[in-house]
Chain A
């Protein structure tokens, strides 16, 4: 997902792409369908009160002041209060497991002084109000949701509260200063009390205050409290709807035959048998991502569509596209690593020659599929001059724009309804909007073919997902390190070879500088004081690549943390003490996270069970630091992870339960990358894996015992969707290396070749 970049760096190309009115233009807000909020029905079927949009509230008033509020600051788009007091908070992000569906309402409810028992949550749309307030586009990624919307949602809650207070003051004809709020009610002098539900309608008519005073963190009663997810019940009973569950009247389902090699086109199509399948309504030849072609089978359900696809007789022309072979590719990467490349860091490499200790290492990381449990899907409904989409997307904006281009509509004519998603991990934020555009192409072709106005749901099979590209790129790392007997690093010469994730996309302008993609090198060197020369090669390969939970740190953390550990082993130093000595008096958050994990794990004190060893790693990504202290063993030649103790520094933990879940989940995903079968490989251009049988992910039998500990902090929160992933694999590898004496230098682990 989007790594740590200054929002000022956002590419102009992207800004241009976002043809929606700029979010800092108050006039733009007037064009948005605010009125619709007034008529929306809530969960209980009640018509909800909504706060007025500034543009509407001031329609008859003086000209808009220079400091007019942006759409992202308007309570009307985010808070609805029903007469029964239910507060519905709209989230400006995709909920796909990370818990923002609960975390963002907690932040807003805190400043609103809501009764948490009456707080509900719902997903937003591609409306400008739901853009990330810092990035200016709709984005769920880079572990940014809580970090970038913390102040935004506090202010939204505080504005709504101020309006409710004003409404009560007017009703009771008292000075607003005599009033206070508590758990969803305004309380006034003489024991007067009014629930928010009673005041909401009057509050709606009042102007939205521009400036508000926020609480001191010491007064928080919702933020920081371990809180059960708002969707826990629905998700424990099959009642939670996801994008795949959308059902519009008359809806059809489409399944697509994709080419066997990325970008290939059709040589011939025989669809006679497919058309004969009962339930099949249309067979459509459509353009696909990367200049490819495919055949969509549209039917009245998934199964007939799938049978129709199975019955297609297709011949593909793969002559014009590169056919990648993983073995050859590795050889090419090795050859490339020896050539001069672009420099990320530079340092004097002269001390290498005379260093008392020298370490040379090569690391290999494979392509990885995201494999979210809910396969990619998107439902499109076309009507004259309009399109409506239902999709679990990490960027409603990007996908809405892509839909508009595909359908030759104005972006304002496309509404994207963000759906709860069954995982994503970066796969639902694609520069090309691949499967969303595919769905739009099908809807367009279906309309032309006479299936007028029937909504079409594109649904991928698991094979479509695993073989469908947009993988974490394959990488080769090489390091030559010189250090002395005390572990002082004298020179470190490092090379990274791997495809650029953002080159050729709208993100290239901000992410690629001097020929180096920031997502390939993030996590290198820092926080260690290392004189490093870092050379980077970005070969072009016919395999689509993408951010994959924690992005560059999926490989850089492994390389850094296993090499630092190896230097500690070689110089016979304790790996924790060695890291602490390298941090010196800098990096207090790294120190605190690591120390907490050490203290809670019993590291260095507890006697380990026979055959087990400790492993340690610490890594910062997305501005949060996670340290792991693990216990592992080797059984029948296979590494086994027994226990993980983590120390987390994410500043303020808005919902500690959510942080704990994110750390555990990210660690399990990191564990997956260590396990046999966790690799995507290609032969003659064809992806060799297709389902969970040959692309392995961790199962419950492989999962260790877990303890998550959070360093207390009142500082503004950082993200936790990704930072738990990077340090798991190196901590595990370091423990195994202590047992076998041999470092592990590839993922998934291969003890035989180590």
Chain B
């Protein structure tokens, strides 16, 4: 049994402490918004926040989350997160998703990035690109991801 704090709630997960957070979320807690893409921190589909930082849940064991707060796509776009709501709205407005499979991870990376910016700061295209470089989209939605992140930054300014 391992403890995991997810989206403001404490959970007890029947899994070995070495189990990646991704599989605790998906298989034990039934929270499938976080996706499995590579299992090796190479594609970003599994991105969640740990104490506000974007991490790859596919290689981060439950044990590493002890005493920390995990936030997933379900909470970030659930309406109560100001930055997450702006990102979600920009994603819909720009019709970013195609297959959509990577987009949870994209949104989690974008949200962590925008949360890390000083208030009122508008990121450059290069800054957006480097913040999003760890997230692969095989459908190639990158041009709209770029536009949506810039747009969300504007609404937050």
Contacts of B52 in A (CB 8 A): none
The CA of A327 and the CA of B57, in the complex, are separated in Å by 38
Closest to A724 in B: B140
CA distance A95 to B74 in the complex (A): 23
Residue contact B98 to A665, C-beta cutoff 8 Å: yes
Q: Are B36 and A699 in contact (CB under 8 A)?
A: no
When distances are taken between beta carbons in the complex, the residues of chain A under 8 Å from B95 are 228-229, 232, 657, 661
B32, B104, B133 interface centre (most CB from chain A within 10 Å): B32
Nearest-CB residue, chain B, relative to A247:
B30
Contact in complex: A665, B129 (CB < 8 Å): no
Chain A residues with CB under 8 A of B74: 237-238
The CA of A286 and the CA of B115, in the complex, are separated in Å by 49
Q: Does A531 sit within 8 A of B, measured CB to CB?
A: no
Q: Which of B19, B32, B99, B133 contacts A373 (CB 8 A)?
A: B99
A697 lies within 8 A of B77 (CB)? no
User: Given the complex, which residues of B lie within 8 Å of A375, measured CB to CB?
Assistant: 36-37
* Residues of A close to B101: CB separation below 8 A: 242, 372-374, 421-423
Q: Is the CB of B40 within 8 A of A235?
A: no
Residues of A within 8 A of B49 (CB): none
Inter-chain contacts of A461 with B (CB < 8 A): 39
Evaluate whether A700 and B135 lie within 8 angstroms (CB atoms) in the complex, with A232-B97, A236-B88, A661-B95 already known: yes
Interface residues of B in 52-77 (CB under 8 A from A): 72-74, 77
CA distance A709 to B43 in the complex (A): 31
Query: Please, which residues of chain B bring their CB within 8 A of the CB of A270?
Result: none
* A18 smallest CB distance to B (angstroms): 27
A96 and B99 alpha carbons, distance in the complex (Å): 5
The number of chain A residues touching the other chain, given as a range, is 35 or more
Q: Which of A253, A373, A665 contacts B136 (CB 8 A)?
A: A373
Are B36's CB and A302's CB within 8 A?
Answer: yes
Contacts of A691 in B (CB 8 A): 38-40, 42
B96 touches which of A236, A423, A666 (Cβ 8 Å): A236
In the complex formed, the residue of A with least CB distance to B143 is A706
A residues 682-727 touching B (CB-CB < 8 Å): 691-693, 697-701, 703, 705-706
Contacting B at CB under 8 A, from A243-274, are 244-245, 247, 253
The smallest C-beta distance from A302 to any residue of chain B, in angstroms, reads 5
Residue from A228, A423, A703 within 8 A of B142 (CB atoms): A703
Within 8 Å by CB of B98, from A98, A374, A698, A705, lies: A98
Are A697 and B136 closer than 8 Å at their CB atoms? yes
Alpha-carbon gap, A244 to B36, bound state (A) = 9
Interface of chain A residues 350 through 395 with chain B (CB within 8 A): 371-375
Contact of A700 among B15, B91, B138, B142 (CB under 8 A): B142
Question: Are the CB atoms of B99 and A374 closer together than 8 Å?
Answer: yes
Q: How far is the CA of A239 from the CA of B34 in the complex (A)?
A: 10
Among A231, A237, A278, A661, contact of B77 (Cβ-Cβ < 8 Å): A237
Contacts of A244 in B (CB 8 A): 32, 35-36
| Candidates B39, B77, B99, B130; contact of A422 at CB < 8 Å | B99
Q: Which of B73, B92, B138, B144 has the most CB of A within 10 A?
A: B138
Cβ-defined contact, B142 with A373, below 8 A: no
In the complex, chain A residues whose CB is within 8 Å of the CB of B117: none
Residue of B nearest to A669 (CB): B140
Interface string of A471-492 (1 = CB under 8 A from B): 0000000000000000000000
Check if B2 is an interface residue, CB within 8 A of chain A: no
Q: Are B143 and A703 in contact (CB under 8 A)?
A: yes
**Count of CB-CB pairs between chains A and B under 8 Å:** 178
A244–B91 Cα distance when bound, in Å, is 23
Do A253 and B27 have beta carbons less than 8 Å apart? Answer: yes
- Asked whether any CB of chain A lies closer than 8 Å to the CB of B4, the reply is no
Contact present for A423 and B99 (CB under 8 Å): yes
Q: How far is the CA of A372 from the CA of B45 in the complex (A)?
A: 12
A193 lies within 8 A of chain B by Cβ: no
Contact with B along A664-683 (1 / 0, CB 8 A): 11111100000000000000
Q: How far is the CA of A373 from the CA of B34 in the complex (A)?
A: 13
Kindly identify, within residues 78 to 121 of chain B, every residue whose CB is under 8 Å from any CB belonging to chain A.
Answer: 78, 88, 91-92, 95-104, 107
Closest to B24 in A: A303
- What's the Cα separation between A242 and B104 when bound, in Å? 13
What residue of chain A has the Cβ atom nearest to residue B75's Cβ? A238
Q: How far is the CA of A668 from the CA of B146 in the complex (A)?
A: 14
Contact (Cβ within 8 A) B104 A462: no
B98 to chain A, nearest CB (A): 4
Contacts of B141 in A (CB 8 A): 661, 664-665
**B37 interface neighbour in A241, A373, A668, A703, Cβ under 8 Å:** A373
Q: Are B140 and A698 neighbours in the complex by a CB distance under 8 Å?
A: yes
Contact call A700/B132, Cβ cutoff below 8 A:
yes
Q: Are A373 and B107 in contact (CB under 8 A)?
A: no
Closest beta carbon of chain B to A673's beta carbon, Å: 12
Check A692–B107 contact: CB distance below 8 A.
no
Chain A contacts with B in 188-242, Cβ cutoff 8 A: 228-229, 231-242
- A99 to B141 Cα, complex, angstroms: 13
CA distance in complex: A661, B20 (Å):
34
Q: How far is the CA of A668 from the CA of B142 in the complex (A)?
A: 9
Most chain A beta-carbon contacts within 10 A, residue among B100, B137, B146: B100
Shortest Cβ gap from B61 to chain A (Å): 10
User: What distance in Å separates the Cβ of A600 from its nearest Cβ neighbour in chain B?
Assistant: 16
In the bound complex, residues from chain A placing their C-beta under 8 Å from that of B99 are 95-97, 372-374, 420-423
B42: A residues at CB distance < 8 A: 462, 691-693
Q: Is A301 an interface residue (CB 8 A)?
A: yes
**Contacting pair A701 B129 (CB below 8 A):** yes
Task: Please pick, from A97, A99, A302, A701, the residue contacting B27 in the complex, using a CB distance under 8 A.
Answer: A302
Q: How far is the CB of A654 from chain B (nearest CB, A)?
A: 15
Least distance between B42 CB and chain A CB atoms (Å):
4
A278 touches B16 (CB 8 A): yes
CB-nearest residue of chain B relative to A670? B140
Q: Is the CB of A236 within 8 A of B132?
A: no
CB distance from A459 to the nearest CB of B (A): 8
> B residues within 8 A CB of A666?
140
Least Cβ distance of B77 to chain A in Å? 4
Say yes or no: A700 contacts B129, CB within 8 Å.
Answer: yes
With A236-B77, A238-B77: A462-B37 Cβ-Cβ less than 8 Å: yes
Give chain A nearest CB distance to B110 CB in angstroms: 11
| Residues of chain A within 8 A of B19, CB atoms compared | 303
What is the bound-complex CA distance between A238 and B88, given in angstroms?
Answer: 10
In the bound complex, how far is the Cα of B92 from the Cα of A231, in angstroms?
Answer: 9
Considering the complex, give the chain B residue whose CB is closest to the CB of A707.
B143
Asked if residues A703 and B27 are in contact (CB atoms below 8 Å), the reply is no
Is B150 close to A, CB under 8 A?
A: no
A423 in contact with B138 (CB, 8 Å): yes
CA distance A300 to B23 in the complex (A): 11
Looking at the assembled complex, report how far the CB atom of A387 sits from the nearest CB atom of chain B, in whole angstroms. 23
Q: Identify the closest chain A residue to B26 (Cβ).
A: A302
- Residues from chain A with a CB closer than 8 A to the CB of B32 are 238, 241, 244-245, 247
Residues of B within 8 A of A98 (CB): 98
Identify which of B43, B72, B73, B133 contacts A701 (C-beta below 8 A): B133
B interface with A by C-beta (< 8 Å): 15-16, 19-20, 23, 26-28, 30, 32-40, 42-43, 45, 72-74, 77-78, 88, 91-92, 95-104, 107, 128-130, 132-133, 135-146
> What are 22 of the A-B contact pairs (CB < 8 Å)?
A95-B99, A231-B100, A235-B103, A236-B96, A237-B74, A247-B30, A301-B23, A374-B37, A375-B37, A421-B99, A422-B99, A422-B100, A463-B39, A657-B95, A661-B141, A691-B38, A692-B40, A692-B43, A693-B42, A700-B137, A700-B145, A701-B130
Residues of A within 8 A of B (CB): 95-99, 228-229, 231-242, 244-245, 247, 253, 278, 300-303, 371-375, 420-423, 425, 459, 461-463, 657, 661, 664-669, 691-693, 697-701, 703, 705-706
9 A-B pairs besides A302-B36, A462-B40 with CB distance below 8 A are: A228-B95, A237-B73, A238-B34, A373-B45, A374-B35, A462-B38, A668-B140, A691-B39, A700-B137
The 10 closest A-B pairs by CB, nearest first: A238-B33, A668-B140, A422-B101, A235-B100, A97-B99, A238-B73, A301-B27, A665-B140, A97-B98, A235-B97
